[in-house]
Amino acid sequence: MITINNKEDIVALLQCPPEREEELYRVAVESRNKTIGNAVYLRGLIEISNTCEKDCLYCGIRKSNSSAQRYLLSDKDVIDAALEAYEQKLGSIVLQGGERSDPKYVLWIEHLLKEIKKQTNERLGITLSLGEQSEDTYKRWFDSGAHRYLLRIETSNESLYKKIHPDTPLHSFYQRVKCIELLKACGYQTGSGVMIGLPFQTVSDLADDLLFLQKMDIDMVGMGPYLEHPNTPLYAHHKQLLSLQERLRLSLHMISTLRILIPDVNIAATTALQTIDPLGREKGLMAGANVIMPNITPAQDRKKYNLYQNKPFSEESTEDAIQRLAQSVERCGCSIAFGQWGDPQHFRRP
């Protein structure tokens, strides 16, 4: 029997020994299948730009990384990728990019949203993952057709947050939390999540992260292992990290424990899992996740969106990649729900 009554129970599940992992994953999958079913929803991930105003100490596209080659997709690149997602019946897309809040950028996003909505007869779901913005910007993007937004808290421990971000007003923990609240108030289905295996992070922190997601009433969760990037300040601590395999295991424990804690949320099997293990996303599904975000950024720019080292890259066409994914999802006892938005059951319309 696995039940969660308090933080200690969460800590114990996160520390699950190898001989009990099978049970943990099984209970999580049963909980998912019973609550929301075994359908896997796809979100075509379009990385629209890697230019960023922020300087997060862990991230490869941070402003101060002068060796990052910056790019901005053209309107046509973004819209073509969105139309391809629509044709391949992915159901929804995510526009993700480094953080920028200048008026020109805000308008550009509005334009893209309206065009994509129009050209797909309002049928393609659109999630944004574009960082901290003003309430006005969040509203404008919502009114232009975005209905979901992802903004990871990265860690819910304020003092750890301060260790992995520069000490400037632009990198405020308080503001981050505020933005998540604004997104919910605007009416977005709101996603958040954390990095797992950060330097200085404890299992108690991770248990608090799950309780934070519960307290914030989050609808969608993306969590993945922290992966060091050599051109970032946090790399200095890379010798203290858990091994990659341990970070993968811990991430899978996080997914299962979250699924048992909040059965009706959408949980992504993230790219960072796949970076450690080619079957990482499948392992995520078998630990209780129900969302996969295939990368559909045009190939020439995909290489440049390097949040961390060794991000998987393939030259495969979207069509071939999706077909291969469908087969591997079936092997995990799930099946892809093509052409559906896949709203989280947790989200209750206002």
- Please, where are the H alpha helices in the chain? 7-14, 18-35, 75-87, 103-119, 135-143, 158-163, 173-186, 203-215, 244-261, 271-276, 280-285, 299-302, 318-331
Spatial CB neighbours of 69, under 8 Å, sequence gap ≥ 6:
304
Q: Which is nearer to ligand 5AD, 100 or 229 (CB)?
A: 229
In angstroms, give the least distance from the CB of 270 to ligand 5AD.
8
Contact 28, 20 (CB under 8 A): no
Which residues of this chain interact with ligand 5AD, rule CB under 6 A? 58-59, 152, 154, 195, 224, 226-227, 229, 272, 307-308
Q: Is the dihedral of CA 18, 23, 27, 30 positive or negative?
A: positive
In angstroms, give the least distance from the CB of 208 to ligand 5AD.
17
Q: Which is nearer to ligand 5AD, 186 or 194 (CB)?
A: 194
**Which among 264, 329, 330 has a CA at the least distance from the CA of 294?**
329
Contact 337, 291 (CB under 8 A): no
CA-based R_g, the chain, Å: 19
In angstroms, give the least distance from the CB of 97 to ligand 5AD.
9
Q: Which is nearer to ligand 5AD, 152 or 281 (CB)?
A: 152
Q: Which is nearer to ligand 5AD, 228 or 282 (CB)?
A: 228
In angstroms, give the least distance from the CB of 2 to ligand 5AD.
27
Q: Which is nearer to ligand 5AD, 85 or 272 (CB)?
A: 272
Spatial CB neighbours of 302, under 8 Å, sequence gap ≥ 6:
47, 295, 313
In angstroms, give the least distance from the CB of 318 to ligand 5AD.
21
In angstroms, give the least distance from the CB of 277 to ligand 5AD.
15
Give the C-alpha separation, 106 to 65, whole Å. Answer: 24
Q: Which is nearer to ligand 5AD, 160 or 307 (CB)?
A: 307
Angle at 157 between CA 151 and CA 163, to 5 degrees: 90
Q: Which is nearer to ligand 5AD, 116 or 196 (CB)?
A: 196
Q: Which is nearer to ligand 5AD, 41 or 161 (CB)?
A: 161
Q: Which is nearer to ligand 5AD, 256 or 271 (CB)?
A: 271
In angstroms, give the least distance from the CB of 225 to ligand 5AD.
6
**Which among 279, 348, 326, 260 has a CA at the least distance from the CA of 39?**
326
Give the C-alpha separation, 284 to 176, whole Å. Answer: 27
Contact 68, 50 (CB under 8 A): yes
Strand partners, 126: 93
In angstroms, give the least distance from the CB of 121 to ligand 5AD.
30
Helix/strand/coil percent split, the chain, to 5 = 45, 15, 40
In angstroms, give the least distance from the CB of 230 to ligand 5AD.
10
